[in-house]
Amino acid sequence: MYKVLLVDPNRRSREETDQLLDWRRLGFDIQAYANDSSEALALLASDQVSLVLISLKDPHANGMRTCEHIRQKSTVPIILIGGPDDFHMARRALAFQVSDYIAEPLRAADVLESLHAVKKQLDGVSLQLPLKALPKRNPDMPIIDIVKQYVQEQLNQNITLKKISTLLHFNCAYLGQKFKDHENMSFNEYLLQQRMEKAKLLLEQTDMRIYEIASEVGYTEIDWFYKKFKAYTGASANEYRKQITVTA
């Protein structure tokens, strides 16, 4: 089920959108609501939102400005609904790389068609991570925890922040800065730390060969693993294992 954020300050309009389709049957669930861009950005940072619906029905809603602010920080799919049937307005929306611009009169069939297209896109890049009930100590904790969880589960794979950003529909630079602010280290520094600490653990607790350990922590080039491990620990992998054996 893909979580939907509906940005619309008008309560009656929200209800109309809720009742327009059987959202859950289509694989979507409108779980979050925002009145403006600041509320929308806070929700995007704290929850894994898969789709943003922005209502343009109210001329005072500043829906296009909300769309612009979201695009500065996230690549999450956006559908603009209920706007005027105006070429210049639609062209401006396309500049923000929205998934669709659906003008008034709002018809269920048009929204349904857009949702099918978005769902196809989301199904192709779904992160497939089990989300836990994470403590929300600050607005950024949930998304950072998801990034860290992904690293732990995919440590033996080729991991890049750009790939994770795409999966989570976040701007890569924005997510990287948020990660650094929260962890006091860059994403790449964190990734190296996790790989090296797991390699140390495997050297200490298993009889795995060095090339097997390198592969287990995401290195396909054994020489590159040797170089990174020595730079991190001050000893080669073989030396580290011998030191542990002697100490034990």
Lowest-confidence pick of 26-35, 165-174, 197-206, 230-239: 165-174
Q: Which residue has the tokens 């992998």?
A: 237
Residue 21's pLDDT is what? 92
User: Can you tell me the mean pLDDT for 130-159?
Assistant: 69
| Domain annotation for the chain: domains and CATH numbers | 2-125 (3.40.50.2300), 141-247 (1.10.10.60)
Over residues 127-139, the pLDDT tens digits come to 444 444 543 434 4
Over residues 35-54, the pLDDT tens digits come to 988 999 888 887 778 899 99
Q: From CA 245, how far away is CA 139, in angstroms rounded? A: 45
Residue 80: both structure tokens together: 């603009």
Q: How confident is the model at residue 8 (pLDDT cuts 50, 70, 90)?
A: very high
Query: Taking the model in full, what pTM does it have?
Result: 0.56
Over residues 173-203, the pLDDT tens digits come to 888 888 898 899 999 999 999 999 999 999 9
Residue 137's pLDDT is what? 38
Q: From CA 202, how far away is CA 207, in angstroms rounded? A: 8
In this structure, what are the phi and psi dihedrals at residue 55, rounded to the nearest 5 degrees? -80, 135
Residue 135's pLDDT is what? 39
Q: What percent of the chain has pLDDT over 70?
A: 90
Higher pLDDT, 22 or 133: 22
Q: From CA 97, how far away is CA 108, in angstroms rounded? A: 22
Q: From CA 149, how far away is CA 213, in angstroms rounded? A: 20
Residue 88: both structure tokens together: 């210049």
Going by C-alpha positions, the residue among 50, 13, 55 that lies closest to residue 28 is 50
Over residues 82-120, the pLDDT tens digits come to 888 777 777 778 788 888 888 888 888 889 988 988 888
In this structure, what are the phi and psi dihedrals at residue 140, rounded to the nearest 5 degrees? -100, -10
Q: What percent of the chain has pLDDT over 90?
A: 38
Residue 247's pLDDT is what? 62
Residue 95's pLDDT is what? 80
User: Can you tell me the mean pLDDT for 50-72?
Assistant: 83
Residue type, 130: P
Which residues, including other chains, have CB under 8 Å from residue 129's CB and lie 6 or more apart? 146, 149, 150, 153
Long-range contacts of 80-87 (CB under 8 A, 24+ apart): 80/54, 80/56, 81/17, 81/53, 81/54, 81/55, 81/56, 81/57, 81/106, 81/111, 82/13, 82/55, 82/56, 82/57, 82/106, 83/56, 83/57, 84/56
Residue 136's pLDDT is what? 42
Residue 248: both structure tokens together: 């034990």
How many CA atoms lie within 13 Å of 30's alpha carbon, on the beta-carbon side? 19
